[in-house]
Amino acid sequence: MINYQRIKKLKDQHQVETDKLQSELHLTRTLQERTAQVLEGTLHEVRRFSSEISAHAEQLNRILSPASGGASQTTDLANTIFYTSGMLSARLAFADLELNPASVENQIRTNAGIYKKCEKARHILSLKARAKNVAIRFQGNSFFSADLLQAFELVPFVLLENAIKYSPRSEEVLVGFVEQGADSLTVNISSIGPQAQEDEIPHLIDRGFRAKGAINSHNSGEGLGLFLVDFLCGLHDVGLQIASNPRVKYSLEGVPHSEFCVTLHFEH
């Protein structure tokens, strides 16, 4: 005699096991896609920093040649190469945070001055700025310091690099420092760049998102920069505001350009 009740019970058990396996498979695929995405972004950034180091090293080699007479610049370039190599470590530390957010508990925080971090980024990017005749000007000063993860090095670097990349030639990037007492600092980075529409602003921190103006400006990009900045600001409780002036300053190759501002707010 066929025991239909037993068959149904076995069938239900198999269905539960099948559902569980499908759920685990979906999770595995999601993690695999996430890992591949992080790896692709990391490799892109590491290649970029490697290219920066190569460019600075090549210039140093030219200066060191007997005919150049530029020995006085060697210390400056050697420091730039040293700083840039440190950005590789910062980028790998960020990848670790993306893949394993719990690792933030194990990463060391070091008390460091925000002004000096911005100064370091300006130093590394000096060649790129000179190539476009873009001046990076600091306004004000600050002795404000905070406990920072190594990966935070990327925040001022990314913001200044984006400002240089999207800036038309011979423009300025202004970095303002305003302290409100000893426990608060606001850093405002403003430059001229492709205008972002109001409805695009909230999405600029989304991974892979790029505003239409940035795309139409023919500047290459992965849509990682502001995502990375937002991620790290969140880990450090740093306020982040992004604004694109609705008033067009001028059009360049048919792309409206206006003032673009990123504001960081630090508090103890």
Q: What is the pLDDT of residues 176-223, one digit of tens each?
A: 999 988 899 999 999 999 999 999 999 999 999 999 999 999 888 888
Provide the pLDDT for residue 43: 62
Report the distance separating Cα 136 and Cα 238, nearest Å.
Answer: 23
Q: Which residue has the higher pLDDT, 31 or 111?
A: 111
Cα dist from 95 to 41, 111, 151, whole Å: 9, 22, 9
pLDDT at 36 over 70: no
Provide the pLDDT for residue 80: 79
The three-class DSSP label of residue 215 is helix
Please state which of the ranges 51-65, 125-139, 200-214 shows the lowest mean pLDDT: 51-65
Range 53-64 average pLDDT: 70
Provide the pLDDT for residue 99: 77
User: To the nearest whole number, what is the mean pLDDT of the chain?
Assistant: 85
Q: Which residues pair with 264 in a beta bridge?
A: 187, 240
